[in-house]
Structure 1
Amino acid sequence: MDVRAGTPVDGLDAHLVVERGAFRLDVALSVAPGEVVALLGPNGAGKTTALRALAGLTPLTGGRLRLDGSALDGTPPESRPVGVVFQDYLLFPHLTALDNVAFGPRCQGASKAEARAQAAEWLARLGLAAHAGARPRRLSGGQAQRVALARALATRPRLLLLDEPLAALDARTRLEVRAQLRRHLAEFEAVAVLVTHDPLDAMVLADRLVVVEHGRVVQEGEPSDIARHPRTDYIAQLVGLNLYRGEADGHSVRLDAGPPITTTEVLTGPVFVAFPPSAVTLYRDRPTGASARNLWHCEVAGLETHGDQIRADLTGELPLAADLTTVAAAELDLHPGARVWATVKATQTHAYPV
């Protein structure tokens, strides 16, 4: 069943309204069992507030919260079928990995032996059987993350919440654990909601993205669709695109602010136009033989290393970002204040309706 076509009987059906001073969160979420949804957005967007509201740690001031057809609005956090993996994992430092995982089943009424047996099973599933007797301080970051996940899953939750689950890991460990977490989430049969500001975590781990800015949903859809069709500057920056809005008339788009852009698409009416920084070619003198249909006079506002390339921040006729090699940047003698000509071929732009 496509949850976006209607409200699912099973799964999550939520309209989260939380007012805190001048900030208002107003986010609707429908998630089917077996689906992983990522709440993605900048700091202060309301992602963590939404997660805390789902967990029952922050009360709703309006809306609704239903899980598998049952209202959770008035249910205390400890009575909800919800598992949470916090950003800092929050493992009990005085307990072994086994007893950390057994804590949930014990709270649900299982005997000590039953809880430990369940915990051992979960640790084995996550490849941690050999670390059952270790306390958190003896675990690596990746191992601690998996213990926290096992502890959340051991209660057999109908809703799994993950708050920046990879943020505490170094880059190398993050790569490995991200792949492991994706595999475990794919096997999870209930609802999973992930909160992150990292686009790669969201793209890899989630089936669907819900982008939140200023407490509201600004775009949602499959990761590939959002990457191809960003609808705000924040999303465009996340996926590494120059993004503009304007009025299309055939192959030409007249921007709301700036010169027209020539595209290959034939459209009419309000559109977005996007192209990657790698599509931009820079010249110190106005090019005479270039085949690109788009040509703008710009000024270098700043330069920074971006992976193995140099990213130039340009202002002038059209503000944009351009990527080039360090050799090309040196040959062009680029520096803040340098005047350049920027070209982009129409075939490297992408226009789509607003």
Structure 2
Amino acid sequence: MTTLRKDTPVSPAPPVEGLDARLVVDRGAFRLDVALTAAPGDVVALLGPNGAGKTTALRALAGLVPLTGGHLRLDGTALERTPPEARPVGVVFQDYLLFPHLSALDNVAFGPRCHGASKAQARAVAAAWLDRMGLAAHTGAKPRRLSGGQAQRVALARALAVHPRLLLLDEPLAALDARTRLEVRAQLRRHLAEFEAVAVLVTHDPLDAMVLADRLVVVEEGRVVQEGGPADIARHPRTEYIAQLVGLNLYRGRADGHAVRLDTGPAITTTEILTGPVFVAFPPSAVTLHRDRPTGSSARNLWRCEVAGLETHGDQIRAALTGELPLAADLTTVAAAELDLHPGAAVWATVKAAQTHAYPA
């Protein structure tokens, strides 16, 4: 065994790269308490209903809202007391907040100028970033002359031009129409894949989160209720909000073999063999509706329900059902017409055990 002499120099521990934060913010009756960690290259999406605390968390990371507790470390450096302008953080706001009197070039050059670059140096950096964003032909355009997608890319270039170690994106696609959103989402995914530091994205759109993020953190009432990879979150929702977000019917109960007795409602038969507290989920497309009680059906799950409402859902009709088991069912417009579905109509709902998915609660 080797013994270190007292005067032997000890190598310092390598700095911890990435984000390590516990964001505690008290605002009247609301308390945010969210832990976030991410390595360089990670894209983390904060999801949650309105008022959950997503934007408060983002603003706390940017230094625009002071912490009342917890900590905030970026690449091993504590930032709790660092003013916003001194943090290595880039922000893309929902409405982009481009300076209306400046050209696209000077909007992007603004950050490097604030960090001490000369006008010529800052403009050279800005021109390079606009070229990367496919906007070389729009360097002289003022924001009012840019499309929504172009303005979004200018805002992203402005945030990246200062080489941030943390990139914050607040609903970056919310201001775009559906067609532009599809194109810009693909472009943003490419740029985030090339970004070598940490990116945190706030969104209420599950598709944006699933496409852009490596990991999802779901916040409700100021707390993290679930986190994990997009596929795991989609397959194993743990709250009603998440289930609705990913389009699943979700129930909680106690399993005994193939049978799950729900906390409120009937039993559901599943193919999994489990014991103890579980969740059971199945998509609305797994539900088959009948006006009369089916005979000879292979479905192991059968419930008498009533149509509470109907709405268009993509190219299908989504029926909200109440009764023995509240649930959502998807069917074609032809099937809805043949069943003569309308609010108040009595129906029988069936789901095959093989189309359910049970997992520990």
| TM-score calculated relative to the size of structure 2 | 0.96
| Residue of structure 1 aligned with 2:283, choices 255, 276, 279 | 276
1:112 to 110, 119, 135: 119
Give 1:2-81 correspondences, 5 Å limit: 9-81=16-88
How far apart in 2 are the matches of 1:61 and 1:103?
Answer: 31
2:278 counterpart of 1:256: no
- Output one character per residue of 1:131-171: Cα deviation in whole Å (capped at 9) or x when no partner: 00100000000000000000000000000000000000000
SS at match of 1:99: helix
Hey, what's the Cα distance between the residues in 1 that align with 2:204 and 2:318? 22
- Aligned ranges 1:201-212 → 2 under 5 Å: 201-212=208-219
Q: Quick one: which amino acid aligns to residue 306 of structure 1?
A: H
Q: What is the rounded CA distance, in whole Å, between the counterparts of 1:112 and 1:96 in structure 2?
A: 14
Question: Aligned residues: percent identity?
Answer: 89
Deviation at 1:289, TM superposition (A): 1.6
Corresponding residue for residue 196 of structure 1: 203
- Other-structure match for 1:338: 345
Secondary structure at the aligned position of 2:16 is classed as coil
Please say which structure displays the higher CA radius of gyration.
Answer: 2
Distance of 2:197 and 2:336 partners within structure 1: 51
Residue 232 of structure 2: which of 210, 225, 228 is its match? 225
| Number of residue pairs the alignment of both structures matches | 347
Q: State how far apart, in whole Å, the 1-side matches of 2:276 and 2:186 are.
A: 42
> Aligned-pair distance for 1:263?
0.2
**Secondary structure of the corresponding residue to residue 187 of structure 2:** helix
Partner deviation per Cα, 1:318-345 (whole Å, 9 max, x = no partner):
0000000111111111100000000000
| Structure 1 residue ranges (4+ consecutive) displaced by more than 2 angstroms after TM superposition | none
Q: Secondary structure at the match of 1:149?
A: helix
CA distance in 2, matches of 1:166, 1:43: 17
User: CA–CA distance in 2 between the matches of 1:305 and 1:105?
Assistant: 49
Amino acid at match of 2:40: P
Which runs of no fewer than 5 residues in structure 1 stay unpaired? 1-7
Matched with 2:324 is: 317
Deviations 1:295-326 (A, max 9, x none): 00000000000000000000000000000011
Give the SS at the match of 2:98: coil
Q: Deviations over 1:5-34 (max 9, x none)?
A: xxx810000000000000000000001000
What is the alpha-carbon distance in structure 2 between the residues aligned to residue 140 and residue 185 of structure 1? Answer: 21
Secondary structure in 1 matching 2:207: helix
Aligned to 1:148: 155
Given residue 102 of structure 2, which amino acid in structure 1 is its aligned partner? L
Please tell me the residue identity of whatever aligns with 2:211: V
State how far apart, in whole Å, the 2-side matches of 1:262 and 1:106 are. 64
Counterpart residue type for residue 262 of structure 2:
L
Q: Secondary structure of the equivalent of 1:134?
A: coil
Query: Structure 1 CA distance, aligned partners of 2:338 and 2:134?
Result: 52
